[in-house]
Amino acid sequence: MANSLFPTVTVHFAFLLVFFGITSGQLSTNYYSYSCPTLLPTVKSIVASAVAKEPRIGASLLRLFFHDCFVNGCDGSILLDDTPTFTGEKAAKANNNSVRGFELIDQIKSTVEQLCPATVSCADILAISSRDGVVLMGGPTWEVKLGRRDSRTARRALVKKYIPTPSFNLSNLISNFSAQGFSTKDLVALTGAHTIGLSRCVNFREHIYNDSNIDAAFAMRRQAVCPRKSGSDDNNLAPLDPKTIMTFDNHYFKNVLRNKGLLHSDQELLTERYTASLVKFYSRNNDAFFTDFTSAIIKMGDLRPLTGRKGEIRNNCRRKN
């Protein structure tokens, strides 16, 4: 009796899994536990060697994840290369010659394909590796929810619509983040990502020459690497957080508090009482920054993932199958 019931129960259970587990759109931290048990340590060790070689790559991965998630959700769309018949997000103004880390994602993907063929999405590799980058640079850790699938499409125009620019004022920033479901507190905590990595002169020129809410000596130091006139120096780099350039900590907020934010948008956080109070709070309390950053970045990873039968598991992160 029990034996003859068993298959029915199994079939029902499988049906329930498909119905609620897979098509409900929910991500889970143990998604690849059975299908690719060594995924997490494999990704971590590749990111660790890359960060040891070039610490900035950790920052670049984090920004890549942000720019992927804010444009149509975390679906790996930013990774697609342009072709004669396809215009993706990569070369959009906010990304072109700016977002980086694609070669590292390729390297991780090809290793993971050998380990667990046709199983792990590029979108998930981005989510895992950006977390690993943050941890390796001294930041907080979190459990990455997984189970995203990769988009088969991308739209360049959406980058302009969703990715904030450094010339934005605070109300622009708040409205762009709230359009994705983020609170003003999430905005301030997430912008703390500017504790690591670099910016090009084109993105901070206006701020160091034309804004008055900037420390004068700091502005002069940056002007030395970023001449007023646009030209061959446009790609010159300066650290977003010069004190601890490649360490993920709350020093970014100390800079902003002292009018030493590199981007106009960074310094905007000080222009209203509520956001200024958060800047002050995080500048004094690293644990609070880590806690709020962690919950906001997990929320970012939940942005409109493709699950179930939507999208695909790409063979190569640069093109659809």
Ligand X SMILES: *[C@@H]1O[C@H](CO)[C@@H](O)[C@H](O)[C@H]1NC(C)=O
Q: 54 or 83: whose CB is closer to ligand HEM? A: 54
Contact 300, 66 (CB under 8 A): yes
Comparison of 10 and 175: residue with beta carbon closer to ligand X: 175
Among 172, 223, 244, 247, binds ligand X (CB under 6 A): 172
Q: Does the active-site annotation cover 67? A: yes
**What is the pattern of x (binds ligand X, CB under 6 A) and - over residues 98-137?**
----------------------------------------
Q: Is 257 exposed, middle or buried (0-12, 13-18, 19+ CB in 10 A)?
A: middle
Q: Is 281 in the site for ligand X (CB under 6 A)?
A: no
Binding segment for ligand HEM among 1-9, 58-66, 137-145, 241-249 (CB under 6 A)? 58-66
Report if residue 228 touches ligand X, rule: CB under 6 A: yes
Q: Which residues pair with 83 in a beta bridge?
A: 86
**Region for 148 from its dihedrals, namely left if φ exceeds 0, alpha if ψ lies in -120 to 50, beta otherwise:** beta
Which CB atom, from 73 or from 311, has the smaller least distance to ligand HEM?
Answer: 73
By the rule CB under 6 A, 265 interacts with ligand HEM: yes
The entry of ligand HEM, ligand X, none near residue 213 (CB within 5 to 8 angstroms by kind) is: none
Query: How many other C-beta atoms can be found within 10 angstroms of the C-beta atom of residue 173?
Result: 20
Contacting residue, 141, 153, 169, 213, with ligand X by CB under 6 A: 169
Please check whether residue 81 is in contact with residue 71, taking contact to mean a CB–CB distance below 8 angstroms.
no
55 binds ligand HEM per the rule CB under 6 A = no
Which part of the chain contacts ligand X (CB under 6 A), choosing from 12-20, 48-56, 143-151, 170-178? 170-178
Rg (CA), the chain: 21
Q: Return the number of the residue (90 or 131) whose C-beta is nearest ligand X.
A: 90
Kindly indicate which of the ranges 11-19, 77-85, 142-150, 160-168 contains the residues binding ligand HEM, using the contact rule CB under 6 A.
Answer: 160-168
Residue 205 binds to ligand X (criterion: CB under 6 A)? yes
Q: Of 98 and 223, which CB lies nearer to ligand HEM in the complex structure?
A: 98
Least Cα distance to 76 among 307, 302, 305, 297 occurs for 305
Task: Give whole-number Cα distances, 223 to 12, 52, 229, 231, in Å.
Answer: 67, 30, 11, 14
Question: The tokens of 244 are what?
Answer: 């601890």
Helices (H) and strands (E) in the chain, counts: 14, 2
SS (H, E, C) 13-65: HHHHHHHHHHCCCCCECCCCCCCCCCHHHHHHHHHHHHHHHCCHHHHHHHHHH
Q: For ligand HEM, what does the binding mask look like between residues 233 and 262, x meaning CB under 6 A?
A: -------x----------------------
Residues near ligand HEM (CB under 6 A): 56, 59-60, 62-63, 66, 98, 100, 164-166, 168, 173, 190-191, 193-194, 196-200, 203, 240, 263, 265
Catalytic site residues? 67
